[in-house]
Structure 1
Amino acid sequence: MILLVNGEETEVPEGTTVEELVNHLGFGDKGIAVAVDWEVLPRSSWHTALAGGARVEVVTAVQGG
């Protein structure tokens, strides 16, 4: 299935969860947030399977000033 991840089309297997996508993209376990179709998902909901065509934004926290 095709997802729009951070503005780029990404093909993933049907039934991919948010957690699986984050791991596949190589993001670490800490300091990230995920929004699906403009709604931020708490980490407790990352077991949710994504639907084809979903818009996913993965952002990382950056320290600085």
Structure 2
Amino acid sequence: MKITVNGELKHISATTLQTALVELGYADARVATAVNETFVPSSARAGQALAEGDRLEILAPMQGG
């Protein structure tokens, strides 16, 4: 299916947010996620279904000082 990830069109086979993160290379990363502008906590990612045309935002914490 086609979804938009951080503003870029991607083709993925995953059907849930959790499996999409694995497919996109974020399996063990500590990130914040939102689907269609709605925050999805890590505890809910396995149950968050994805559909054609969804917009996924993946945000990693920034470091610095």
Pick the TM interval, shorter chain: 0.7 to 0.9
Q: Aligned residues: percent identity? A: 38
Q: Which residue of 1 aligns with 2:3?
A: 3
TM-score by length of 1: 0.85
TM-score by length of 2: 0.85
Q: Which runs of 5+ in 1 are unaligned?
A: none
Aligned length: 64
One-letter identity of the residue aligned with 1:34 = T
Q: Which runs of 4+ in 1 moved over 2 A?
A: 28-31
Q: Which residue of 1 aligns with 2:35?
A: 36
RMSD in angstroms over aligned alpha carbons? 1.4
Q: Per-residue deviation at 1:56?
A: 0.3
